Structure formats: C-alpha cells, structure tokens
A = this chain, B = another copy of it.
C-alpha cells in the first residue's frame, strides 16, 4: 500500500514541529511537504536540529501533490491557507481555532476578526474522538480542539453525560509555556517565566466558548457556564486542569470513578487513574490522565486532568484524527509512552 502523502502548513511552530516528529515514525504516511513563512528555503533541521533525521526543505506553500493537510497556522491565517484544499476536497486537520466554534458570531466576538470562510464551518467536525468518533471518521475537515478545552471537556464530559453536576463549573488550568508558542516576546523570556506562577486571561480567554459549546451539547439542562482561569506554570509542556462542579446528588466517590471508567472504557488514550496525576507522566505521549474526587464536605466534584498540550492537546490529537479519517488503527504512530522523568 502506498503511503499517504501529508503536508504540514507552518511546520516552524511547536505544534507543527511536533506533527513532524510524530509523523516521522508513522508507518502509513510520509511527510511530503512542509511550509514555513520566514523559513521557506531552509532545511527543516536548520530550524529544528532535533528533526535531523526527518530533514527536508521547507517550502513556501504546499502544492497539489499532497493527499492530506495539517495546518498549524494561527487562526484566520489557517482557514485562509486551508481554503483551496477544502475546496478540492482534500482531507484537512486544522490545528487552529477557525472551525471549532459552530456559531461564527461567537468566533468573531472572541477572536476579534472576520472569519475568512464561514461557509465551511458547518461541515467541520470538532475533533475530539472520545465524543465524536464516528463523525471524525466521515469528516473531510477536522477542527482540532484547543489544548485547554481537551482537558476540561474530557474531564467533565462523563459528569454531564451522567447528569450528576450543575451547569456552572470552574476550570482552573495550569499550562506549560509551549502553549504560548515559539515566540520572541519578552513576556515569555526564560527569566520572566522561570520559577514563577501567574494567572492570566482573567477578563476572558478564547478557549472558554469551546468548552461551553461541547459541554452544553452533553448537558440536559441547557448551557454550561465555564469559569475558566488559565495559568502559566514554569514548565515547557503539560496542562494540569483542576475542575470544580457542584454535585446534584449524593453520588459516592466509588460510583463516580466507576462512571468515569465506564465512559472511557474503550478509549485508547484516556486513563482514569486512582491518584492525582502529574503532567510529567504524559510528557510526549498522547494520553490524558483523569482523576476523580468527590468532596462530600462541600458537595463538589473535583476532577484533575493531565495531558501534554503539544500531543493530546495539539499534534497527537491531530494524528489520532488523521488515523480515523484514513481508516487506520486509531493509535498508529502514537504508541510511545511518556518520557519520564
């Protein structure tokens, strides 16, 4: 069987280079072309020495020799770059936010820009296989979930599915700095970040509407309101999410854990674990670890989630979606365990 020829638009960010790393070891696809804006003409290994064995020239743009496209461009630019491929019915995974929100007005409010091609939103599938596997398989255009929403949605989905919590929830999430991208900005200078924690986005963060959209779909009581506070932690990879919801009944710790275990029983990349996970346990792997706690004193459900924001939160999820779209075993190329310590 000939390998699927994959193109990566904007390989020069962290999500793009992570796609290259993962796909390099994927047995059923080959990386046919990669693009990068300012880096066009350079070798991939000049920008990313760790990709030395996956070396190739960076192109200014993809041509029509590719069978499958990933875009790791920022929002708006991404939809624009994908447009011609969508038009030609080439299967696409968009790592950006452009096709995640079903309501284009919500997108335009939060992202403060006009959507370049709202006509494609309807057919895009929100690429969380744990919730939309069959749709992903049939889709030609995947909106890959945001890194924070992946943790929050998977952390709370079983609770909304089982109708055990109220619709007003809190996501206190702590992210590694790679989530902010590969930027030359004094805000992300090592000295400013190292050995320090901070909150941000207190007046609203763009990932919140995604969380609300997906959890509301599962809710039997209308819109789910998410109070979402992201934090910057002095680490490169990883998102630890601590989620607080009010239980609507006296469900026990054991029942809740069982309910979660059952919900995710057949999932290749979700593990409901018995003690609080650390993000390091997911470094470089496509797993999400979920730990469920019932606090009887306050009547709260506290769910802790850990994942690698560049893998399950971006490139790994993208490859998982690609596998489903191509009819391949879902875990192909994603078998690697986390690098620890």
- Tell me, yes or no, whether A279 is within 8 Å of chain B by CB: yes
- Tell me, yes or no, whether A63 is within 8 Å of chain B by CB: no
Having A182-B341, A184-B185, A202-B304, one finds 10 other A-B pairs with CB under 8 Å, namely A49-B273, A50-B340, A188-B189, A195-B195, A198-B278, A200-B276, A202-B295, A204-B297, A227-B298, A227-B300
Copies in the assembly, this chain: 4
**Cβ B238 vs Cβ A337 within 8 A:** no
Within A35-86, the residues touching B (CB, 8 Å) are: 48-54
- Tell me, yes or no, whether A17 is within 8 Å of chain B by CB: yes
**Size bracket of the A interface:** 35 or more
With contacts A185-B184, A298-B168 taken as known, whether A49 is within 8 angstroms of B281 at the C-beta atoms is: yes
With contacts A202-B302, A227-B302, A240-B197 taken as known, whether A283 is within 8 angstroms of B339 at the C-beta atoms is: yes
The 10 closest A-B pairs by CB, nearest first: A196-B280, A198-B278, A50-B338, A191-B341, A197-B240, A184-B186, A50-B340, A190-B193, A172-B172, A195-B235
**Cβ B276 vs Cβ A50 within 8 A:** no
**Cβ A189 vs Cβ B182 within 8 A:** yes
Cα–Cα, bound, A28→B182 (Å): 38
Min Cβ gap A264→B in Å is: 13
Min Cβ gap A34→B in Å is: 14
